[in-house]
A and B are shown apart, each in its own frame.
Chain A
Amino acid sequence: DARVTQTPRHKVTEMGQEVTMRCQPILGHNTVFWYRQTMMQGLELLAYFRNRAPLDDSGMPKDRFSAEMPDATLATLKIQPSEPRDSAVYFCASGLDVATADTQYFGPGTRLTVL
């Protein structure tokens, strides 16, 4: 049963601390997306990768957020320094680079609380 996994599932940290969230995409998928869910904005795209190359990260605050794919089995989203307004659920999704969006599979999310 192939699934997208995300760690940690929950993270509580203090303002100013570095936060790293990890995602393991489904084996064989070549696109990875990071989304953030907040009460105010709903689900919003932060960044996405195809074949490990970043294609669009315009949704991310550039000064504090960074997303990388060190290899095909790991995607990371880092916040440094974290702020209370970053509190949200962060979802990773992976998919196949085909002509539809049906093949995006979401992980369970990382719930981040910045105090």
Chain B
Amino acid sequence: DQQVKQNSPSLSVQEGRISILNCDYTNSMFDYFLWYKKYPAEGPTFLISISSIKDKNEDGRFTVFLNKSAKHLSLHIVPSQPGDSAVYFCAASMPNSGYALNFGKGTSLLVTP
């Protein structure tokens, strides 16, 4: 059963606009949430994370929002750049699992010039 869900397989955004990637989770035991970025033929690379005690975390052009009551998080990229084109994975972890990651299936973002 998929405990982390990314319901949009793909997203296309114009350069300079905002990209919003969404993620939902079902397990209330998750206390740490992460976004990974993946290019073809490479492993995922860590992008940004948020603890369940926060509702927002910002790092440059990337902001992650967490709505615990809705079990929903989102990644905002502003402004989007062509180099942001990649597959973005949402992941969640809990402390009693050694922080092993539960991943969503990913959203492929295409930023067009």
A residues with a Cβ closer than 8 A to B are 4, 31, 33, 35, 41-45, 48, 50, 55-56, 91, 93, 95, 97, 99-102, 104-109
A93 to B42, CA, bound (A): 12
Judge whether B103 and A101 touch: CB under 8 Å.
no
- Chain B residue contacts of A104, Cβ below 8 A: 46, 99, 101
Judge whether B43 and A106 touch: CB under 8 Å.
yes
Judge whether B43 and A44 touch: CB under 8 Å.
no
CB nearest to B92 among chain A residues: A101
26 example contacts (A-B, Cβ-Cβ < 8 A) are as follows: A31-B98, A31-B99, A35-B101, A35-B103, A42-B89, A42-B103, A42-B104, A42-B105, A43-B89, A43-B106, A45-B100, A48-B98, A48-B100, A50-B98, A93-B43, A95-B99, A97-B98, A99-B95, A100-B99, A101-B99, A101-B101, A102-B34, A104-B99, A108-B42, A109-B41, A109-B42
Per-residue interface assignment for chain B, residues 60 to 99, with 1 indicating a CB less than 8 Å from any chain A CB and 0 otherwise: 0000000000000000000000000000010101010111
- Chain A residue contacts of B103, Cβ below 8 A: 35, 42-44
Judge whether A100 and B32 touch: CB under 8 Å.
yes
Q: B108 near A: Cβ within 8 Å?
A: no
Q: B16 near A: Cβ within 8 Å?
A: no
CB nearest to A59 among chain B residues: B100
Q: A43-B89, A101-B32 are in contact. Are A33 and B106 (CB under 8 A)?
A: no
Q: A4-B43, A101-B34, A109-B43 are in contact. Are A33 and B49 (CB under 8 A)?
A: no
B residues with a Cβ closer than 8 A to A are 2, 32, 34, 36, 41-46, 49, 51, 89, 91, 93, 95, 97-106
- Chain B residue contacts of A48, Cβ below 8 A: 98, 100
Q: How far, in Å, is B69 (CB) from chain A's closest CB?
A: 23
Q: Which of B41, B49, B95, B106 contacts A42 (CB 8 A)?
A: B106
- Chain A residue contacts of B32, Cβ below 8 A: 100-101
Q: Which of B98, B105, B106 contacts A56 (CB 8 A)?
A: B98
- Chain A residue contacts of B98, Cβ below 8 A: 31, 48, 50, 55-56, 97
- Chain B residue contacts of A93, Cβ below 8 A: 43
